[in-house]
Amino acid sequence: MPDPVATTNTQPSHLPLKDLVLAMLSLAAVQGKNRIPIVKFYQIFADMADDLPPMFPPLIFTRTSYSAYSKRLDDALQFWVGYGVEVPNPGLKHIQVMGESAERHLDWFKERYGEEKLEALRPLVAQFISDLGPEPTP
């Protein structure tokens, strides 16, 4: 009789949230969305939370009438601040990833997790970009 412990895959199917956030922000940046309002970032993730692919760990959000927040998502975002992800404004209103940093991030993600994982994020990023809508005119 086979040993059930030996045949059971005990590794989680999800990737580290910090790496998924970096890949998503980087994919958005190379598609021209390199400046993302923080309030929209959290709101879009909150709206997508129940439909995220299995590679994402579970996310829990606190919601108000005008915003959403997840501590786990905030920790993932804060991990990369200063390493190619910036919050370059005094009011902390936007996240910014520049194109050359985004390309390096994507190369790193592909090397670490494979092209198929990156490709699996593309439809999610397309929805994310669509939900961001056009940038407001100054």
Domain count, the chain: 1
51-70: per-residue pLDDT in tens?
Answer: 999 999 999 999 998 899 99
Domain that holds residue 45: 13-131
pTM for the whole thing? 0.86
pLDDT at 7: 43
For residue 20, tell me if it sits in a domain.
yes
pLDDT at 91: 77
**Cβ neighbours for 18, distance < 8 A, ≥ 6 positions apart:** 75, 76, 77, 79, 80
pLDDT at 138: 54
**What is the pLDDT averaged over residues 86-104?**
87
CA distance 12 to 25: 23
pLDDT at 11: 46
For residue 28, tell me if it sits in a domain.
yes
6-28: per-residue pLDDT in tens?
Answer: 444 444 578 999 999 999 999 99
CA atoms within 13 A on the CB side of 45: 29
pLDDT at 136: 61
pLDDT at 122: 97
pLDDT at 137: 53
pLDDT confidence band for 4 (50 / 70 / 90)? very low
pLDDT confidence band for 5 (50 / 70 / 90)? very low
101 has pLDDT over 60: yes
